[in-house]
Amino acid sequence: MRALGIETSCDETAVAIVRREADGHAVIEAETVLSQIDDHAPFGGVVPEIAARAHIDHLDELIIATLADAGLKPDDLDYVAATAGPGLVGGVLVGLVTARAMASAVRVPFLAVNHLEGHALSPRLGEDLPFPYLLFLVSGGHTQILCVHGVGRYERWGTTLDDALGEAFDKTAKLLELGFPGGPAVERMAKAGDPDRFALPVPMKGKPGCDFSLAGLKTALRLAAEREAPLDDQTVADLCASFQRAVGEIIEDRLSAALAKFSDIYARPPVLVAAGGVAANSHLRAILARLVNERQGRLVIPPPHHCTDNAAMIAWAALEREAAGEERFEPKARPRWPLDSAAKPKLGSGKKGARA
């Protein structure tokens, strides 16, 4: 089976063609990602209207280029898939409309994909990774710990009650005027800083469960920066290092509980998958590796270009669902779309769905 996948949920316009072999292995025949970093950098974050317009401007040409790279014609496709959420709804709509039109023209099924399921299954693109495994999903919009029991079967063990981890990194970078994207900028500055200079809080540490909270840490960082103003380069580096150390302690505390729970349930060493843009942070990767090694487990992190938003994971998630005989999703744009739809909301819900 072969699927063309489209990803437009945030600030990357991405197209990929993935083939699923009879033995279940994935072959990425071509993939293209167009970043919008330069478009959003002047604003210090992603501007939804700019992102949607950029998707409109470039998506068609990326589809043509990706087909050409693979040496394929539209008639060679078995499916066309696109992210239907969660994400910036304007961008999601661009991908959905384009993909549905293409599927109709080629006369193949259109498959709507949950962006989070793309991340959840992305490690199986290049790894022999059987179910179940533990997923640590860390991105600009999501910070969750989920147990992946199988395709379409996800159980949330922990979530952020306020900011996502990637959002906290971006807001820290904006506060310290480090530019966009914020995560890599904070990591670079932290390498030259003293992580012990500022005693920042570690929210939720020692509390039962696996939930996260980043808002208090972000506020404490802002207050520390205001006390030290005007900031010199070394102070900025020390603030970044102290922030990254606190984040590491939060992750270590919350994930330790999840890894222990996994081992108790399955009576074997844990298998941990980290996905999402923040999984590219080398300091956090080292913490994850140590936590898993202490339990004689296995850590799987996709290559950096498959940690961030990409279309290969969207095409692959669609193929995995089809192979497993899972029900097809309704093709509508969703700004919020929990991967574990049976979970009870932890925070209030509105028209867009539950915040956490």
Domain ranges of the chain: 2-123+305-354, 131-301
pLDDT one-digit tens code per residue, 86-97? 999 999 999 999
Residues 145 and 165: their CA atoms lie apart, in Å, by 12
Alpha helices, H only, the chain: 37-40, 48-70, 89-106, 115-121, 165-175, 182-190, 215-228, 233-266, 282-294, 304-307, 312-324
CA nearest 12: which of 32, 27, 30, 29? 32
pLDDT band at 352 (very low <50, low <70, confident <90, very high): low
Whole-model pTM: value is: 0.91
**Separation CA 312–CA 122 (nearest Å):** 8
Q: Is the pLDDT of residue 337 over 80?
A: yes
Dihedrals phi, psi of 56, to nearest 5 degrees: -60, -40
* Confidence class for position 346, pLDDT limits 50, 70, 90: low
pLDDT of residue 64 exceeding 70, the answer is yes
Q: Please tell me the distance from the alpha carbon of residue 98 to that of residue 100, in angstroms, as a whole number.
A: 6
Average pLDDT, the chain: 92
- Distance from C-alpha of 45 to C-alpha of 140, rounded to nearest angstrom: 10
Neighbouring-strand partners of residue 79: 3
Alpha-helical segments (H) within 89-202: 89-106, 115-121, 165-175, 182-190
Cα atoms in the Cβ-side hemisphere of radius 13 Å centred on 173: 24
For residue 348, pLDDT over 90 is answered with no
State whether residue 329 is helix, strand or coil.
Answer: coil
Residue 57 has pLDDT above 70, yes or no: yes
CA-wise closest residue to 199 among 129, 246, 247: 246
pLDDT one-digit tens code per residue, 73-117 = 999 999 999 999 999 999 999 999 999 999 999 999 999 999 999
Fold that domain 131-301 belongs to in CATH = Nucleotidyltransferase; domain 5 (3.30.420)
Q: For residue 198, report the phi and psi dihedrals to the nearest 5 degrees.
A: -115, 125
Q: pLDDT tens digits for 215-264? A: 999 999 999 999 999 999 999 999 999 999 999 999 999 999 999 999 99
Q: To 5 degrees, how large is the angle CA 79–CA 82–CA 87?
A: 165
Cα Rg of the chain, angstroms: 20
pLDDT band at 278 (very low <50, low <70, confident <90, very high): confident
Q: What percent of the chain has pLDDT over 70?
A: 96
With beta carbons less than 8 A apart as the criterion, state whether 303 and 129 touch. Answer: no
- How far from chain centre, in Å, is Cα 200? 26
Residue with tokens 């509105």: 350
Fold of 2-123+305-354: Nucleotidyltransferase; domain 5 (3.30.420)
Q: Rounded to the nearest 10 degrees, what angle do helices 233-266 and 182-190 cross at? A: 110
